[in-house]
């Protein structure tokens, strides 16, 4: 059998000095950070800072949205509750009771929404998407379609105002 300690691996022409270090020898080698390493560290620090700022800003927007949404739901609840009396007179007490139940449900939703903070809402949304990805995807499609329609109608109105 041939001596394998002198044989080079297949496709290797020569031994490079220092290429055959052991794990303990490698751990003793201290390498100074290069300019590239410093640039990468600086870039990582900058992206971490920007992502933190973006997350804080998003939480702020979500908080504002929660506040406005709960106020809007409370207003809708009041409006539906106020129409219940009229429904009693025009269509009967049964329809007025439906309106009162709907107003109560809307008010409960508004109160639940108002009691949540942005992180709780984000966590709830993530959990909902995990449980019902199809519904979440359909909802995202509907919201996207509505946004496109709003933008398009705003752009079309802007063009007609200039004419």
Residue 103 lies in domain? 35-118
Band (52; pLDDT cuts 50, 70, 90): confident
The answer to whether position 13 is within a domain reads: no
107 and 147 together in one domain: no
What is the arithmetic mean of pLDDT over 63-74? 82
Three state DSSP letters for the chain = CCCHHHCCCCCCCCCCCCCCCCHHHHHHCCCCCCHHHHHHHHHHHHHHHHHHHHHHHHHHHHHHHHHHHHHHHHHHHHHHHHHHHHHHHHCCHHHHHHHHHHHHHHHHHHHHHHHCCHHHHHHHHHHHHHHCHHHHHHHHHHHHHHHHHHHHHHHHHHHHHHC
Whether the predicted model's global pTM rises above the 0.75 cut: no
68 and 138 together in one domain: no
The count of domains in the chain is 2
72 has a pLDDT exceeding 70: yes
The answer to whether position 53 is within a domain reads: yes
The answer to whether position 4 is within a domain reads: no
108 and 139 together in one domain: no
Per residue in 142-158, pLDDT (tens digit) is: 888 888 888 888 766 66
67 has a pLDDT exceeding 60: yes
102 and 55 together in one domain: yes
159 has a pLDDT exceeding 60: yes
Report the percentage of the chain scoring pLDDT > 70: 76
């Amino acid at each position: 059998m041939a001596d394998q300690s002198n044989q080079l691996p297949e496709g290797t022409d020569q031994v490079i000095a220092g290429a055959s270090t052991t794990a303990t020898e490698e751990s003793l080698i201290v390498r100074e950070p290069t300019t590239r390493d410093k640039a990468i560290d600086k870039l990582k620090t900058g992206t971490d800072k920007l992502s933190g700022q973006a997350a804080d800003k998003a939480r702020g927007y979500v908080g504002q949205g929660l506040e406005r949404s709960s106020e809007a739901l409370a207003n809708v609840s009041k409006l539906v509750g106020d129409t219940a009396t009229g429904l009693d007179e025009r269509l009967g007490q049964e329809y007025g009771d439906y309106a009162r139940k709907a107003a109560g449900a809307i008010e409960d939703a508004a109160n639940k929404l108002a009691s949540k903070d942005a992180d709780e809402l984000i966590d709830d949304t993530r959990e909902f998407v995990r449980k019902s990805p199809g519904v979440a995807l359909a909802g995202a499609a509907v919201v996207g379609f509505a946004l496109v329609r709003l933008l398009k109608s705003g752009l079309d109105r802007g063009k007609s105002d200039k004419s």
